[in-house]
Structures are given as C-alpha cells and as structure tokens.
A and B are shown apart, each in its own frame.
Chain A
Amino acid sequence: MPWDLNNDRPIYLQLMERIQHDIISGVYQPGDKLPSVRDLAVEAAVNPNTMQKALSELERCGLVHSQRTSGRFITDDTEKLRRMKSELASEHIFSFLDQMRNLGFSDTETLEMIQQTLDKKEGTNNETDS
C-alpha cells in the first residue's frame, strides 16, 4: 500500500514526517533496525533517492543513526523521543487552537467545549459498559 502523500510539498519532507510519526507513535520501537532504503521506498512507492534523503535528514535530527555495515537504527534515546512526542503534541494543540480562534471561540470557550465533549463521551462509554 503506497503511502498517502500530497502533491504540493517536497516528497522528502513528507516522508520524514511520516517516519518521524511512526517512530514517535511506536510503530518502530527505540533501538529497532529500520528496513533498507530500497524496501522502504518500495513500500512507500517513492524514489529510493528521495527516501535516502529523508533518512539522512532524520539522521541529522538524531532520530535515527546508521551503523556502517548493519544498516539504520532508531535512536534508543527514550528521553529524546519523549521530548519529540510532547513537541509534536503541542504543535497539534497550537494548530487546533488556531483553527478554533479562526471560528471565533476564545481559548476558555474551547477548553469548556473540550471538557463537555469528554464528559459526554465518558457518559456514553459508561452506558455501553453497564
């Protein structure tokens, strides 16, 4: 199944984001070996050179490191992964808040709405539980 890539941004950036996401969300565990460039490229249905570029960029960020003979590995620096995870989370929160502000909600209103939604969800969950 080729990866879902959109059309207007450089492909290597999208590949980086996708792999980064897979690492942070735990599809790849810390210390895991990554598939070869060719295999990843085939899986994503993209050009191997582009995949290579994405992985090199990730290497520069310190998310993966290569060992000369045995391939590329995910970093086992769990502290760093946790930090990246929370960075990514706050990015999502900020962009969400931006959209809500665009719709005309203040941050407090947004927070209230979130709380309500969660309560309601809790309620329905309890109902199905009992």
Chain B
Amino acid sequence: MKPILECSRLTKKYGDFFALSDLSLTLERGQIIGLLGPNGSGKTTLIKLANGLLTPTDGHILINGMTPCPKTKQIVSYLPDCSFINEHMRVQDILSYYTDFFSNFSTERASAMLDALEIDRRSRLSSLSKGTKEKVQLALVMSRDADLYILDEPIGGVDPAARDFILKTILTNYREDAAVLISTHLIADIENVLDRVLFLRNGQLALNATVDDIRTEYGKSVDALFREVFKC
C-alpha cells in the first residue's frame, strides 16, 4: 500500500519568503500524527498543499500516490481552522450537502453525534454558539470514512470539556487504517493521543519521531521538548 502522504523536496515560496523549503516526509497509515511548530513555521502551508488549495513552487506532494486532485479530495477529510460553512444553511441542509458531495460520508454517524450534542436540525448554523458550531464542523469531518483526516487547530481556544469531547470524537471515529494529521500549538493537551510528532521550523522538518521514543530518549514530554527546541 502506498504511503498516505508523501512529500519530496516540497517547496512553497511567497515572493522571496520560503513558507516551506525542501521538505521531504512520508506518513504511513494507521497513526495519529501531531504537526507542531510556532506560527509561521509552515504548518498551514503544508496542510493547504495536501488539500490542493495551493500548488507547490517546487518538489511534489502525493496523497496515496496521487498529486492532489478530485480523487484525493474524496479520501481526505479536512477541518480548516475557521468557520467554513455557509452560516445561513440549516443543519439538515448541511447534512444533505455532505451526503451529496462525499460518497464516504456516513449520515447515521453524523446524526448520532448531532443528537448527542442535542442540536436541532432545523436551526441555522448562524444561530448556534461558536463552540457548538466548531463541534458540528468536527462531527461532519469525522463522519467521513476518509483515508487521511487533516485537522487544523481543532482544539484552539476551547474549554477543557470541549477539548475532551473533541479528542473523544476523533478517537472514536477515525478509521483504523487511516491517518490523522492534527496541527496545533497546544501540545500538552493532545500529546497522549499522538503516535508521532512532526516539528516544523522555518519551513523545514526539525524532528520526526514517535511520542514514546521522545519520552524514552529525552526523558521528558513532547511539550517540554518542544519548549526547549523552540526557545526564544
């Protein structure tokens, strides 16, 4: 089976600024990977490239052996770090939208999650609170039987109860032969659910190791190591 995500010499330039430079990386299925790095380190650029929202300046990125295209979009489930759904839509319309466009979307799973959140199907997205909106979006993304889930800052700025809900949703719903890529700067909160972490610095890979290896080798948590590596 081909690796779910493969970058080789991947470079993205904006003017004179290298958002990613010469990044080579392979991610296998069946793991949850943390994408860590300070602001401006290239996390979002990498995520956008994987989703085909940007085209590389140089090098290439492959999803399941293919350059991003409608076929890869079918197997990648992406949670952007902003509110990405038309706010005027009703929850039931959003469900039919996902059902219409994504053949791997499980309406039952999404319905079960929305029921657990006690969300009225007839309510418009704009009438929901910010936290609830984020949960609805996560529920939609995790209701797809994708091969790669890409979650951009899923726990940014939520309270601990919401964080537990989010982690539980991710752990309960991802397929075992899928990979989950979670970008965050709140490492301590999600460290326990990760198999592997990638540290990005200035558009380059600073570290790629499993969480248990880091703990065995450095005798400290990933969070502590991160603070050390990116000390100001």
Contact = CB atoms under 8 A, between A and B. Distances in A.
B215 A47 contact: no
A10 B215 contact: yes
Contacts of A110: none
B229 interface: no
Contacts of B215: 8-11
B153 interface: no
B212 interface: yes
B164 A50 contact: no
B38 interface: no
Nearest to B32: A47
Contacts of B221: 7-8
A12 B194 CA distance: 12
B168 A42 contact: yes
Interface residues of A, number: 19
A2 B216 contact: no
A118 interface: no
A41 B192 CA distance: 10
Interface in A28-57: 38, 41-42, 44-50, 53
Contacts of B176: 38, 48
A45 B164 contact: yes
Judged by DSSP, the binding face of B is: helix
B129 interface: no
Interface in B206-231: 211-212, 215-216, 219-221, 223-224
B195 A47 contact: yes
Contact of B193 (A10, A12, A38, A45): A45
Contacts of B86: none
B167 A45 contact: yes
B172 A47 contact: no
A41 B193 CA distance: 9
A48 B195 CA distance: 9
A53 B32 CA distance: 15
21 contacts: A2-B164, A7-B191, A7-B220, A7-B221, A7-B223, A8-B215, A9-B215, A10-B216, A42-B168, A42-B172, A45-B164, A45-B167, A45-B171, A47-B32, A47-B171, A47-B192, A47-B195, A49-B30, A49-B195, A50-B211, A50-B212
